[in-house]
Structure 1
Amino acid sequence: MTAPRATPTYRIDPFDLRLFAAIVEQGSITAGARHIHLSLAAASTRLQQLEHAIGATLLLRSKRGVSTTDAGRTLLLHAGRLQRDMEALHADMAAHAHGVRSTVRVLCNTAAMTEHLPPLLGRFLVAHPDIDIELRELGSRDALVSMRQEQADIGIVADHVGTEGLSTRFFREDRLVAVLPKLGARSTRRAMPFVDLLEHAFVGLPSDSGISRLLHDRALQHGRGLHHRVRVRGLDAVMQLVGEGVGVAVVPLATAQRLVNERVVVRPLSDAWATRQLLLCTAGDAPPGAGAAALYGFLAQQAGGPPGR
């Protein structure tokens, strides 16, 4: 009768993961131990302890070296990711060890990410070398969900979504405009309704971008869908492809003004939703932490007042 197998503890030393990965990479326990400057006896002992903690055999030994079992291949897959995470952790902690640092988490929509924030963040980061910014683009609705779950310090969203429970203030006015290929388009600045664009094929951003979701929802309100010839990562590429005659697009006015050329026609959209206010949002009266408070104060100072006030 065989003795019952010990219950695995899954208490794994990160150094043992490094040793295991080195053994697999080098092809033998001897070479792996030498690679990380460990004696063969110590490496063998640590490997046995690792297999005991896992509760499974990780390596098959032979005269030609070692090969991984199924359990070993699974561990190796996770070991690489865990080692990268540990290296990132060490790097982040080293930054704190050399001086007090803070990271501010900011969520924003497409217009804020591409047009309004870059020049402001550049000035802020140069003036605050001890503060880092983690910037992420999300549609306004998704950004608000994350803000309410306190997954970010500051949000910048369009005012067409409900901001109940959050503290908000005006940041920028943002207008969306239609961009059409000049060939075949009427050269006029007269505003046009969004529904007229639905007769054409579109050039757009990825489907998960904030502006793409907004246009998809507005098209559905007209009982229509959007036909995209192509989706690209940036608004610069959108404008270039429209100029090539691939299709039409809807972009922020600031983008159109920055990238306009002789091959495109820019026309305002007459729909009320195309003119919106971007709002600075926090979960409370002020974001927690000195770094977040400093960035919020800087952005609020650059915002000014809402149009017409």
Structure 2
Amino acid sequence: MALHRIDPYDLRLFAAVAEAGSITAGARAMHLSLAAASARLQKLEQASGSQLLSRSKRGAALTDAGRTLLRHAGLMQRQLAALHADMAAHARGLSATVRLLANTAAISEHLPPLLGPFLAAHPDIDIELKDGASVELLQALRQGQADLAVVSDHVDLVGLQASPWRADRLVALLSGRGRRAVSFAELLDRPFVGLPPDSGLTRFLQRRALDQGRPLHQRIGVRSFDAVARLVEEGVGVAVMPEAAALRWLPARMHPLSDAWASRRLMLCWADAPGTAVALLRDALLTAPA
């Protein structure tokens, strides 16, 4: 196979043919003659070493190999679009974009007051900020899909540079008066309110529930800890959130969690030899007062 010889334009043509269901319509969409489109598709099949289209009088249908190529073609086109966007940013004077991944507690509580001053002080640097579960964030960091990650200290940090960054304690919010310590297992008898199912904290709590051999019944997922606290106060369910958020929104309903995993430390992680912009953001986060 000579996959390195595949022309991105031919992939666009192939995707157009797949969408239209015929080579004629795909060629028209790409402003090519039928003969030129057929020649390009034949060249693409030779490069891939597989028949990609099943041709008939009714049109062109994808083979199994064609479906595989179409899936990767979409990914490559998105990556090329991202590349063009990044290079355009350099052309207009932007020097770098730092890809920062963080768990829910870091994004909601600790990072916002630090990123604003950093961006104001460095107008030539952008930050791409994404939320996720700590294990997934470290996987992305190891695979080169991120520059920095803020994760809780229960994960394996082998192969990465890491520094303790912030204390992060999880607490429970109940409808009754607070202060009595409770275990997470006690809460599983009650319905929960929380963040959306795809948030890092929700997925973390779902795994802790599975560790107990119990399901976590979350009645609703909302976008902010403020909304979570309001729903707890209205008696909709119980919640688990960072202590800093609970103190801000509903301190009277706060109960310490007795589980060892509830007392965590956030770690700032990066790979070896970060670039200049990454090192600037890393150092700014590490030296900022808690």
Question: Fold-level match, TM-score > 0.5?
Answer: yes
Task: Name the TM-score, length of structure 1 as normaliser.
Answer: 0.71
Q: Which residue of 1 aligns with 2:281?
A: 295
Separation in structure 1 between the aligned mates of residue 161 and residue 268 of structure 2, nearest angstrom: 8
Q: Deviations over 1:18-57 (max 9, x none)?
A: 2233345556555544433334443333233234334426
- Which deviates more, 113-122 or 233-242? 233-242
Residue of 269, 274, 290 corresponding to 1:281? 269
**Deviation at 1:166?**
5.6
Letter in 2 for 1:122: G
Residue of 55, 60, 74 corresponding to 1:60? 55
Secondary structure at the residue paired with 2:237?
A: coil
Residue of 245, 248, 256 corresponding to 1:255? 245
**Deviation at 1:87?**
2.1
- Residue ranges of structure 1 left out of the alignment (5+ in a row): 1-7, 305-309
1:232 aligns with 2:234: no
Letter in 2 for 1:269: P
Separation in structure 1 between the aligned mates of residue 143 and residue 77 of structure 2, nearest angstrom: 29
**Deviation at 1:16?**
1.5
Preserved CA contact (<8 Å) 2:171 2:257: no
Secondary structure at the residue paired with 2:173?
A: strand
Preserved CA contact (<8 Å) 1:235 1:255: no
Preserved CA contact (<8 Å) 1:202 1:249: yes
Q: How does 1:153-168 map to 2 (within 5 A)?
A: 153-159=147-153, 168=162
**Deviation at 1:131?**
2.1
**Deviation at 1:70?**
2.6
Q: Which residue of 1 aligns with 2:256?
A: 269
1:117 aligns with 2:103: no
Distance 1:268 1:30, change over 3 A: closer
Q: For the aligned residues, what is the CA RMSD?
A: 3.8
Secondary structure at the residue paired with 1:175?
A: strand
Separation in structure 1 between the aligned mates of residue 153 and residue 11 of structure 2, nearest angstrom: 49
Query: What percent identity do the matched residue pairs reach?
Result: 48
**Deviation at 1:252?**
1.0
Separation in structure 1 between the aligned mates of residue 232 and residue 107 of structure 2, nearest angstrom: 21
Distance 1:197 1:106, change over 3 A: same
1:42 aligns with 2:44: no
1:15 aligns with 2:2: no
Distance 1:200 1:92, change over 3 A: same
Distance 1:303 1:141, change over 3 A: farther
Q: Which residue of 2 aligns with 1:209?
A: 200
Distance 1:124 1:82, change over 3 A: same
- Residue ranges of structure 2 left out of the alignment (5+ in a row): none
Preserved CA contact (<8 Å) 1:59 1:72: no
Separation in structure 2 between the aligned mates of residue 41 and residue 215 of structure 1, nearest angstrom: 56
Secondary structure at the residue paired with 2:236?
A: coil
Q: Deviations over 1:70-121 (max 9, x none)?
A: 3585244443343333222222233234435323233322210222112322
Q: How does 1:195-206 map to 2 (within 5 A)?
A: 196-205=186-195, 206=197
Task: Name the TM-score, length of structure 2 as normaliser.
Answer: 0.74
- Which deviates more, 122-131 or 160-169? 160-169
Q: Deviations over 1:200-240 (max 9, x none)?
A: 333344387346536854895xx674542436264435334
**Deviation at 1:199?**
4.5
